[in-house]
Every structure is written in structure tokens, then in C-alpha cells.
Amino acid sequence: MFKLLHQDKNSRARLGRLITSRGEIATPCFMPVGTQGTVKALSVEELEEAKAQILLSNSYHLFLRPGMEVIRKAGSLHNFMSWKKPILTDSGGYQIFSLALLRKVSDPGVEFQSHIDGLKHFLTPEDVVKIQRDLGSDIMMPLDECVHYPCAKDHAEIAMRRTLDWARRSLAVERPREIQSLFGIIQGATYEDLRKVCIEQMLELDFDGYAIGGVSVGEPMNLRYNIVNLVVDLLPKQAPRYLMGVGVPQDIIEAVGVGVDMFDCVVPTRYGRNGTAFTSEGKITIRNAPYTEDFSPLDKNCACATCRNYSRSYLRHLLNAQELLGLRLVSLHNIYFYLELMQKIREAIAQDRFAEFKKDFLDKFNNQT
């Protein structure tokens, strides 16, 4: 269940509360990505200390490894990974289309070869919901067909209509609806008329929430913003809106400003493993020479364990010496930065000063990036 609490008086940014059986989530929110049942390099205790409200995991990866039998025996994905708060699971559709060695998409479902061992599998939309039902996900995503940019309109339309068909079939699968929500995914590539058709027919199915899929797949930034703006305008106000796979802080703030509620992205930990940190004054590459004798914290305005205890100089040393602690500490900081950013965004919306916050943040962040 989703409750809309407040909309900023000077923008379309909004505060909400997403209610699940495992706890309430204040929105706008960011979901750290734990693709394989773990947010890379970080423990659940560290995520709790960073005040993560919800994690995202991936059905495709968990189906392949460790396999559903192991997770069923554990009782749920929550039990398996020792995480007590909510989990959203992606269907794995994007991973099938981007990672699988070979794939064949048809109306019944998707045949693909595992990127791990090359074994062939076939999954229907019904299978994907059943997998997530067994995972014990609090929020499930149906199988959809995601196309890359650029994409011919006839191909995008076929994928969009297949996504709608799979959405109908997914809704028909029995699940404990009071504890497992199912979101619909809006597709249609960069074609506004296809997006409108998809929204119109998806709303007739009455999902628990709606996700904007098929963005951040190579399209120019202006097209991405146009599509997000269009879709959000046509979605119901009383349902949560989830922008899949986005993004960097600038993209998140722009999307919050038009009314998006939920985000996920691998950027914080992926950048962290490569030695790039997000700070209140912009993005820095801590491996670089200027930080050799810089004994200040990564971000003087940050209260995470990394910034409380370690210097830029030490972090640079760890990363360049290929010590695992280095990538762990920078990843931890980046996750904390993202979650703290969302908290500050929520406070600004509550005080009807989101537009001012957005300008101040982007002016400072972009000038240093």
C-alpha cells in the first residue's frame, strides 16, 4: 500500500510512504542493488547503519545461482541473506536480454543460455512470478521485454505489446497479495505514442505500483527526461512510481522533481570499486595523485564510518595497492551518500523548498564534477 503524504508547493516532488509487511519505506527512496543477494562488498549490518530502507535483488541471478531449491530451504531470500527489511526483486528480464549468451524471445516466454555455464533455460512470465513468490519478495516485477536505444518503432511496439501480455499473465498467478506487491512496467522505448498506449492498458490491469522501464539504455539525456516526464504525468497519483536503473545524483534529483518515488542503480558500489567517490562537493577519483598526502576525510560533510575514520591519503593507498578494504570503504561511503541525499531530499520536500535544494545541490555538485 502507498500513501501520498505531501507534494512540494513549487515542484512536482512528493513525499510518500510505501507500506509492506516488513516495514514502511519513506519515499523518495533509493534502493541499494544486491543483485546476487548481496550489495557488493558490504554487509547487511553496514547497510542498516547507513539507514537503507529496502534492497533490490535479481531473480535471474538467484535462479541461476544458488538456485531456487537452496533459497526455498532457507525459507526466503530474507533468511538466506539475513536481511529483515523489505526487498524488491527485479524479474531479470533486462539481464536475460543483456547477459545471456544466446536468447530467443517469443510470446510464450524467453529461452536463454546462462552466462555462467551455458546451460539452456526457458522461463515464462508465470515462472518469473513463481520464482519471486518463492524468494519471498515484498515487491515483485513482472517479466518485460526491454529494448536498447536506438530501436525501430515496429520492434519497440512488439516488445511493448508483449510486455503488456506478460503483465496480464503475471497478475493471474496466485500469490499472497497482502504481503507481496506486483508492479507493472511501462515500456515503449522513446516513442511517446507507444508509451501512452502502454500506460493506458497497464492502468486497466490495476497493479500495486508502476515502473518506468527501458530508460538509461543508451538514449540521449534529453530523450530520457522527456519520456520520464511524459510517463509520470500519466500515472495515477496514488500509486508509487519507480524509475528503473537510474542513476547518478543529478538524474535522481531531476526525476524526483517530476514526481518519481523510487530509484535503484549499481552506480554507488560500481564507482566505489573503481575508486570514485560521490561527495557533497562533487565526484572525485581518489586513486589520483593529488590525494597522495591529503589527510582530510573523503567528504568533510559526511558522517559515514569511512569519513569518520579514514583519510583520502589512506584510501588512495589501499586502492592503488589493490587492497580489498579500499573498495569496501569507498563503496560504503557512496551508499551512505546516496541514502543521505534521499533523506535531505525528503526534508526539502516536507519544507516546500525542493526547488531551492535542487538548485543549490546541482550548482555545487556539477561545478566540481
Across the range 254-268, mean pLDDT stands at 98
Has 144 been annotated as catalytic? no
Task: State the cell numbers at 104.
Answer: 530467443
Across the range 145-163, mean pLDDT stands at 96
More confident residue, 126 or 113: 126
For 292-346, where are the E strands, in sequence order? none
pLDDT at 90: 97
Q: Which of 8, 90, 144, 299 is catalytic?
A: 90
pLDDT in tens, 315-361: 999 999 999 999 999 999 999 999 999 999 999 999 999 999 999 99
Diameter over CA atoms, the chain: 61
Domain ranges of the chain: 2-265, 266-369
Across the range 149-159, mean pLDDT stands at 96
Give the orientation angle of helix 354-368 with respect to helix 249-257, to 10 degrees: 160
- Above 70 in pLDDT, residue 369? no
pLDDT in tens, 228-249: 999 999 999 999 999 999 989 9
* Polymer length of the chain: 369
Q: In this structure, is the dihedral angle defined by the CA atoms of residues 223, 226, 230 and 236, taken in order, positive or negative?
A: positive
Mean pLDDT of the chain: 96
Residues 56/31, Cβ–Cβ less than 8 Å: yes
Residues 195/230, Cβ–Cβ less than 8 Å: yes
Q: Report pTM.
A: 0.97
pLDDT at 240: 98
- Above 80 in pLDDT, residue 368? no
Rounded Cα gap, residues 342 and 15, in angstroms: 11
pLDDT at 96: 81
What are the φ/ψ torsions at residue 212 (nearest 5 degrees)? -100, 105
Question: For 328, how many CA atoms within 13 A lie in the half-sphere containing its CB?
Answer: 11
Q: Which helix (H) or strand (E) holds 342?
A: helix 324-350
Q: pLDDT band at residue 100, thresholds of 50, 70 and 90?
A: low
Q: Which of 8, 138, 264, 299 is catalytic?
A: 264
Residues 103/112, Cβ–Cβ less than 8 Å: yes
Rounded Cα gap, residues 65 and 22, in angstroms: 25
DSSP 291: G
Angle (CA) 348-351-357 rounded to 5° is 30
Angle (CA) 228-231-233 rounded to 5° is 105
What are the distances in angstroms from CA 326 to CA 46, 128, 243, 275, 365? 15, 37, 30, 8, 23
Task: State the cell numbers at 60.
Answer: 535471474
Query: Cβ neighbours of residue 4 under 8 Å, at least 6 residues apart?
Result: 14, 15, 16, 237, 238
Across the range 75-100, mean pLDDT stands at 92
Closest CA relative to residue 52, chosen from 42, 62, 61 = 42
pLDDT at 246: 92
Task: State the cell numbers at 206.
Answer: 490495476
Query: Cβ neighbours of residue 363 under 8 Å, at least 6 residues apart?
Result: none
Has 352 been annotated as catalytic? no
pLDDT at 101: 67
pLDDT in tens, 279-313: 998 999 999 999 999 999 999 999 999 999 999 99
3-state secondary structure of 107: coil
pLDDT in tens, 155-176: 999 999 999 999 999 999 999 9
Rounded Cα gap, residues 54 and 28, in angstroms: 12
Rounded Cα gap, residues 66 and 58, in angstroms: 12
Q: Which helix (H) or strand (E) holds 32?
A: strand 29-32
Across the range 112-133, mean pLDDT stands at 94
pLDDT at 268: 98
Topology (CATH) of 2-265: TIM Barrel (3.20.20)
- Above 90 in pLDDT, residue 94? no
Rounded Cα gap, residues 308 and 341, in angstroms: 18
Q: pLDDT band at residue 103, thresholds of 50, 70 and 90?
A: confident
Q: Which amino acid is at 324?
A: L
Across the range 110-133, mean pLDDT stands at 94
Counting residues of the chain whose pLDDT is more than 90, the rounded percentage is 92
